Structure 1
Amino acid sequence: MTCLLTIETSTQICSLSLSINGKSIMNKICTKKKSHASLLGAFTLEAVNYVRKNNYTINAVAVSAGPGSYTGLRIGTSEAKGLCYGFDIPLITIPTLKIMAFQAIHNLSLSFPNSIYCPIIDAERMEVFTVLYDANLNEICPLKVDTIDENSYKEFLKKRTIIFFGNGLNKCTNLIKSPNAIFIKDIYPTAKTMIYLAETAFAKKEFTDIAYFEPFYLKEYQTTVT
């Protein structure tokens, strides 16, 4: 029996899931902005108490590795590392955009065969974090910070459909006008979506060094005046 705890805090959504053999047995999620610091600890405590009450053993913790919100990623990573140190269990890290692409492929692949999947996370101003995947989660273009304009992905769009999704979607809809561009709302990374990817990594023993891991920020942290 494999019991995994997955944590996702890379966007405005804070979520945690507890799974047994790939099936979620506890799922906590909040879509309220800036809730991560106050809620993630409470979600974790509830999950740990559930595990102890039912005599389970958490085998590993998986955390969304970024890119995304600097603060959110720091909170999720700190919680995951603390659990791994405390329970002496391995850490699994999964790229945030891969989590989003997995969800989109799972939901849409039958409707859009042979399409390219483009998860997009808002990186402030006109920039986004993005990567291109095929339907088997193979990278077609690597992870990068990109500035969206009317020529973005033009060469790919000449030949294939690209599915765009994520919280940076609004930066694309008014600029990318190709008939091969399809924009899908309400796809975002969650801890529950991570379960399959975390189970796969656990089975392959694809663990991350707890001491040295840092989230994939891609951009320097910038302070703002309010």
Structure 2
Amino acid sequence: MAYILNIETATKNCSVALAKGGKIILCKEISEEGYSHAERLHVFIEECVKEAGVSFQDLSAIAVSQGPGSYTGLRIGVSAAKGLCFALSIPLIAIDTLQTLAAQANVADGLIVPMLDARRMEVYSAVFNSKLEKQRAILAEIIIEDSFAEYDEKLYFIGDCAEKCKSVLTRSNFIFLEDIKYPSAKEMGSISFEKFKINDTVNVAYFEPYYLKDFMVTTPKKQP
């Protein structure tokens, strides 16, 4: 049975989970304001493998969150995943970050709208049904009063944007599940295993995260 190491670093949540046959065995994660991914990620990877009683040579593939999300977080996760794939000569599987987030919403009706903060009133969002089938493409969009007005069914909003979006998205069919904030590697296990079974992998050498927006470098303001 395939062991797949799943890595999720697209947001403030630094998360690693080891899965066997699509079932999570062990997960290590932490959400911090300071983005401690560079310090935590490799420690979590080693702990997951060691505590599960397997070796790195037992791994069949590495799955990594492909974005959209934090530029720095994605770079750290993808770099680690690529390094492991090269060293172990195993395939790399790319997972849609918003699908991983949507997987946390256990709903029987309506649609799921995972949203991740893209600063100010802009978000990264997509729309999924309860079977995690994508109903609308991923967008970087500015949230206004008429956003998602074309949907009549219940919309379940999840992600780290509730605080800034609740006062704008006020239609009666809009429901905010505020306890679900960040994607986690725990939800990647079944998704990565299904991709592994059909050999849905990416080129380790050329794969790049899906940033959706260009990375902007800002210059600090000079102090008077």
- The 5 A counterparts of 1:25-44 are 25-33=25-33, 34-44=35-45
What corresponds to 1:47 in structure 2? 48
What corresponds to 1:86 in structure 2? 87
Contact map agreement 1:148 1:171 (CA 8 A) in 2 = no
What corresponds to 1:165 in structure 2? 158
Structure 1 regions of 5+ residues with no counterpart?
none
Secondary structure of 2:58 counterpart: coil
Contact map agreement 1:13 1:31 (CA 8 A) in 2 = yes
Contact map agreement 2:10 2:97 (CA 8 A) in 1 = yes
- The 5 A counterparts of 1:1-226 are 1-33=1-33, 34-50=35-51, 54=54, 57-104=58-105, 107-109=106-108, 113=109, 115-156=110-151, 159-187=152-180, 188-224=182-218, 225=220
Q: What RMSD in Å do the two structures reach over aligned CA positions? A: 1.5
Secondary structure of 2:210 counterpart: coil
AA in 2 matched with 1:192: K
AA in 2 matched with 1:22: G
State how far apart, in whole Å, the 2-side matches of 1:172 and 1:140 are.
21
- CA deviations on 1:24-75 (whole Å, 9 max, x unpaired) are 2221111123110000011122234456x54561000000110000000000
Structure 2 regions of 5+ residues with no counterpart?
none
State how far apart, in whole Å, the 1-side matches of 2:67 and 2:17 are.
18
AA in 2 matched with 1:71: T
Shift of residue 208 of structure 1? 0.7
State how far apart, in whole Å, the 2-side matches of 1:214 and 1:22 are.
24
Contact map agreement 1:63 1:92 (CA 8 A) in 2 = yes
